[in-house]
C-alpha cells in the first residue's frame, strides 16, 4: 500500500509505502495504570438504546492517563500547550531502541549514549526528524498496575526510561523530533524531577508515554501517525498512535 506523499519539511519527504499497520495505543478503561494521585478513569451512561433510541456515554480521565502526549505547559504555565503541534508535526518516521534485556535486569535502567552508538553500529545513523521509541518490555506488566509503575507512591516508582545525557545527544547531535516509551514516563520512574520530559518539552519535542506493541516494529523504517485530541488549553491528551510498517 502507498499513502499520499508526505511533506515533512526539509528533513524527509516522499511517499509512504507500508505492508501493515500496528496499533501503538492501549484501550481506555477504568482499570488501566494511573500515576499516583491522577484522577480515576470513569464512564457514565447518558443514553440507552432501549430508552433513548441511541447509546451515549460521558467519560472523564486525566490528561496524562493511558497512551498520551505531553505539552510544555505540563511544567511551565507560560509554555506552549497542545496548540504548538501542527498536523504535520504528528506524522514522523520512527526508530525503536530495544533495552528490554537491560530493563529485565535493572528496572531503573536509563538509556545511555553507548546504547545509541550500539544501535547506530547496527542500523546506521539516527534519522534527522524522527521519533525515538524505547522498547523496554514493560507492556507485559500493563495489566498489573503496581508492577507496571513499580510502586504506589509517586516518589517511589521504578521503571526504565531515557537517560538525560542520551536525550541531549539525540536532540543536539541527531536532531530528532521526539521521544516515546512503553512505560509510564520517558525518564526512569525514580527521576522525580521529570528531567527528560522537561528538557524535551522545553525544546518542543513530541513526548509519548504508555505506548504498546513496540516489539512489533522494526528498528528503523516505520512511520508513526499521532491522532491528537485537541483539548483547548491542554497540558497533554490521550492519543491514538498508529505505525505504518514497510
pTM score, whole prediction: 0.93
Strands (E), the chain: 6-7, 13-14, 20-23, 42-47, 56-60, 68-70, 91-98, 110-111, 131-135, 161-162, 178-181, 206-209, 220-228, 236-245
pLDDT tens digits, 75-117: 998 899 999 999 999 999 999 999 999 999 999 999 999 999 9
pLDDT value, residue 13: 56
**Segment 198-216 mean pLDDT:** 97
- Sign of the C-alpha dihedral, residues 196, 201, 204, 208? positive
First to last CA, the chain: 9
Sorted by where each begins, the domain ranges of the chain are 6-27+63-245
Half-sphere exposure of 21 (CA within 13 A, CB side): 10
123 — pLDDT class (breaks 50, 70, 90): very high
Burial of 64 (0-12, 13-18, 19+ CB in 10 A): buried
17 — pLDDT class (breaks 50, 70, 90): confident
11 — pLDDT class (breaks 50, 70, 90): very low
Residues 27 and 121: their CA atoms lie apart, in Å, by: 36
pLDDT value, residue 7: 41
For the domain with range 6-27+63-245, which CATH number is right: 2.60.120.10, 1.20.140.10, 3.90.1150.30, 3.50.30.50?
A: 3.50.30.50
Amino acid at each position: 500500500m502507498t499513502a499520499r506523499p508526505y511533506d515533512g519539511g526539509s528533513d524527509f519527504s516522499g511517499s509512504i509505502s507500508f505492508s501493515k499497520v500496528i496499533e501503538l495505543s492501549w484501550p481506555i478503561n477504568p482499570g488501566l495504570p494511573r500515576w499516583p494521585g491522577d484522577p480515576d478513569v470513569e464512564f457514565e451512561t447518558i443514553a440507552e438504546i432501549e430508552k433513548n433510541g441511541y447509546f451515549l456515554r460521558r467519560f472523564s480521565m486525566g490528561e496524562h492517563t493511558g497512551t498520551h502526549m505531553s505539552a510544555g505547559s505540563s511544567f511551565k504555565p507560560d509554555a506552549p500547550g497542545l496548540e504548538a503541534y501542527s498536523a504535520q508535526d504528528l506524522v514522523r518516521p520512527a526508530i525503536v531502541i530495544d533495552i528490554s534485556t537491560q530493563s529485565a535486569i535493572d528496572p531503573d535502567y536509563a538509556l545511555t549514549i553507548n546504547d545509541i552508538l550500539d544501535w547506530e553500529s547496527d542500523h546506521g545513523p539516527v534519522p534527522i526528524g524522527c521519533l525515538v521509541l524505547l522498547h523496554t518490555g514493560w507492556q507485559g506488566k500493563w495489566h498489573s498496575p503496581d508492577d507496571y509503575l513499580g510502586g504506589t507512591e509517586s516518589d517511589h516508582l521504578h521503571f526504565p526510561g531515557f537517560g538525560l545525557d542520551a536525550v541531549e545527544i539525540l536532540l543536539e547531535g541527531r536532531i530528532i523530533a521526539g521521544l516515546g516509551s512503553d512505560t509510564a514516563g520517558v525518564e526512569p520512574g525514580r527521576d522525580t524531577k521529570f528531567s527528560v520530559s522537561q528538557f524535551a518539552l522545553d525544546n518542543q519535542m513530541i513526548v509519548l508515554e504508555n505506548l504498546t506493541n513496540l516489539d512489533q516494529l522494526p528498528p528503523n523504517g516505520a512511520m508513526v501517525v499521532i491522532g491528537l485530541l485537541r483539548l483547548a488549553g491542554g497540558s497533554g491528551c490521550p492519543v491514538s498512535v498508529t505505525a505504518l510498517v514497510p
